[in-house]
Chain A
Amino acid sequence: MSELLGIYNYWIYVVLMMIGFYGVIAKKNLIKQAIALGLFQTGIFLFYISMAVVDGGTAPIWTTIGDGSIKALGPYDNPLPHVLILTAIVVSVSVLAVALAIIINIKWKYGTIEYDEIAAMDRASGGGDDD
């Protein structure tokens, strides 16, 4: 039982990633696809942060002891994955923003954000390279 609990987090990361993956493939709405991509990303974030946990550990910030000096009291969680994910989250919102901007442009141009309708219009106008 404890063996299974020990990898529970990793299972959830797989589940979240796959929910996002399913959304990217199955959904035709471009906004839904962008959000599903975000779900996929958070799955990976969960994977990294889960690896950082140490039994009995706490946030990797050294403690100020009574006389004002700083001391590593440990045990601490591993800070390296935190650093990676912290920047990745901000980058992910930038990616989402660029994706949304492109989607808005598609809406202006095609009048729809459903992938299959866009593809149909492209086929109707001959190959889709009408730009």
Chain B
Amino acid sequence: MNEVLLVDSVLLFLVTVCAVAIIEVRSLYAVAMLTSVYSLLMALVWTNMHSMDVAFTEAAVGGGISTILLIGTLVHTRRDEKPAKKRVHVPALLVTLLTGGALIYGTFDMPRFGDPEATIHHYRVPEMMSQTVAFVSEREGKQAPPEGYEPPPRMVPTAAPPHGHDAAHGDEAEHAAEGADHGAEGEHHEDGGHHKHPADDFNGHVPNSVTSLLAAYRGFDTMFETTVIFTAGMALILLLRRPREEESTPQEGATLRGQVILRVMTKIFIPFILVFGFYVITHGEIGPGGGFQGGVILATAFILYALIYGRNALYRIISPKTLDVLAAVGVLLYAGVGVACLALGGKFLDYAVLDKVSPGDGEALGMTLVEYGVGITVCTVMIIIFNQLAEEPAKAKAS
């Protein structure tokens, strides 16, 4: 039996139990903690399915940030759900059973779990994986496919023994090894980007396919996802920020400063969290990670500080105004990279033209800048959201 599936079945059973508990438990604090457990279990599920980047995000977002947000909200609202009159809501149960039945019926047509022949692995994905979309679409400003270039074999992502080591692939691998002698000082993306040969193309790009797809093939999508996050931050400010005159007398809520263990442990942890966050952002192209994950991890350091030392202490480090500006700067940096590509004669977010600025690793440069943009926006927006939800209830606001 598939070993992925073995671990998977146990974890997913726990996840399901957790989900039922989340719906049924009435104490909302308990629910907040259960969602944290649920997310950590989910992160394990993602890891088990080799989706490292998603696991990172889920652990940081679900296990960390959203739990804090929920608890921050519970401070303002009631702690318990009102008991329902009936234990089971019959119409809802009927609707869900019907919908669920229809969906389960649909799953019988799904390809088997892990089937390498499933359609999803073939349409366009091999080209994306080998980062040769440029050749396939033959756009302007890019070189035509070099002589002897062959379209990637059908299953580049799984170009493994079971699926045949066909000629084109063996060739590529050979050249990849050959091309390694120039600039193989451990900096992987230094050699290449020139499209001398498909093998170089293969060798000079970013190793983490998730990041390369995120920033290049789905660059527009990612840019607007970042905009969505930015918009959410702005929405929080509009919904919850108090008028300026009230802001001038910030109330210091109860802090945990008096707790020696928490205070000392926070001071010890924060540098490590920050270093790890920066590592995740900067190494997004080489290993698992990137702007989204790193941004959230960085934000947790600031939020932890604010939780223990109070938000006024946080504002002394980084003022609300700076946060607002930085959130916009991140999105602008992303869009700016796109505009820079336009200015250099390419298309929007066509990182290849950045080779003119930084010969050899234009793509890596573009993607790194974009990741920084995403990281800055995600980090600051998460802090903004936390700050807004942690505002003291404005009693004067009752209309």
Contact of A57 with B50 at beta-carbon distance under 8 Å, contacts A32-B31, A94-B232, A107-B76 already known: yes
| A11:B107 contact, CB within 8 angstroms | yes
**A residues near B338, Cβ cutoff 8 Å:** none
Kindly identify, within residues 21 to 55 of chain A, every residue whose CB is under 8 Å from any CB belonging to chain B.
21-23, 25-29, 31-32, 35-36, 38-39, 42, 45-46, 49-55
Kindly identify, within residues 80 to 113 of chain A, every residue whose CB is under 8 Å from any CB belonging to chain B.
80-87, 89-98, 100-105, 107-109, 112-113
Tell whether A56 is near chain B: CB-to-CB under 8 Å: yes
25 contacts between A and B (CB under 8 A): A7-B112, A8-B12, A10-B113, A12-B12, A15-B100, A18-B97, A18-B103, A19-B16, A20-B19, A25-B89, A25-B95, A32-B31, A36-B22, A51-B118, A51-B120, A68-B188, A69-B188, A71-B177, A73-B160, A76-B158, A77-B50, A77-B51, A94-B229, A100-B389, A104-B393
| B235:A72 contact, CB within 8 angstroms | no
A-side interface residues toward B, CB under 8 Å?
A: 2-3, 5-12, 14-23, 25-29, 31-32, 35-36, 38-39, 42, 45-46, 49-65, 67-87, 89-98, 100-105, 107-109, 112-114, 117
Contact of A67 with B120 at beta-carbon distance under 8 Å, contacts A17-B103, A18-B100, A32-B81 already known: no
| B96:A21 contact, CB within 8 angstroms | yes
| A69:B235 contact, CB within 8 angstroms | no
| A85:B54 contact, CB within 8 angstroms | yes
| B225:A91 contact, CB within 8 angstroms | yes
**A residues near B156, Cβ cutoff 8 Å:** 72, 74
| B203:A70 contact, CB within 8 angstroms | yes
Listed residue (A26, A50, A94, A105) with the most chain B CB atoms within 10 angstroms of its CB: A94
**B residues near A79, Cβ cutoff 8 Å:** 125, 128-129, 157, 209-210, 213
**A residues near B394, Cβ cutoff 8 Å:** 108
**A residues near B380, Cβ cutoff 8 Å:** none
| A61:B287 contact, CB within 8 angstroms | yes
**B residues near A92, Cβ cutoff 8 Å:** 61
| A97:B69 contact, CB within 8 angstroms | yes
A82 to B210: give the CA distance in the assembly, Å.
Answer: 7
CB-contact partner of B292 in A9, A61, A90, A113, under 8 A: A90
Contact of A74 with B22 at beta-carbon distance under 8 Å, contacts A65-B177, A67-B184, A96-B69 already known: no
**A residues near B114, Cβ cutoff 8 Å:** 6, 53-55, 57
Q: Chain B residue with minimal CB distance to A39? A: B19
**A residues near B176, Cβ cutoff 8 Å:** 69-71
**B residues near A109, Cβ cutoff 8 Å:** 398-399
Main secondary structure of the interface of B (DSSP, over half): helix
**B residues near A96, Cβ cutoff 8 Å:** 66, 69
| A100:B69 contact, CB within 8 angstroms | yes
Q: How far is the CB of B265 from chain A (nearest CB, A)?
A: 25
Tally A-B pairs: CB < 8 A: 354
Kindly identify, within residues 279 to 300 of chain B, every residue whose CB is under 8 Å from any CB belonging to chain A.
287-288, 290, 292-293, 296
| B381:A82 contact, CB within 8 angstroms | no
A89 to B56: give the CA distance in the assembly, Å.
Answer: 10
**A residues near B130, Cβ cutoff 8 Å:** 72
Segment with Cβ contacts to A, from B1-9, B134-142, B251-259: B1-9
Listed residue (B35, B114, B185, B389) with the most chain A CB atoms within 10 angstroms of its CB: B114
Q: Chain A residue with minimal CB distance to B291? A: A90
A100 to B184: give the CA distance in the assembly, Å.
Answer: 50
Tell whether B329 is near chain A: CB-to-CB under 8 Å: no
A61 to B188: give the CA distance in the assembly, Å.
Answer: 13
CB-contact partner of B120 in A35, A42, A78, under 8 A: A78
Q: How far is the CB of A27 from chain B (nearest CB, A)?
A: 7
**A residues near B42, Cβ cutoff 8 Å:** 42, 45-46
**A residues near B121, Cβ cutoff 8 Å:** 54, 78
Tell whether B263 is near chain A: CB-to-CB under 8 Å: no
Q: Chain A residue with minimal CB distance to B232? A: A94
Tell whether B218 is near chain A: CB-to-CB under 8 Å: yes
**A residues near B288, Cβ cutoff 8 Å:** 59, 61
Listed residue (A18, A42, A97) with the most chain B CB atoms within 10 angstroms of its CB: A97
A108 to B73: give the CA distance in the assembly, Å.
Answer: 12
Q: Chain B residue with minimal CB distance to A25? A: B92
CB-contact partner of B9 in A8, A63, A117, under 8 A: A8
Contact of A70 with B188 at beta-carbon distance under 8 Å, contacts A32-B31, A61-B209, A107-B77 already known: yes
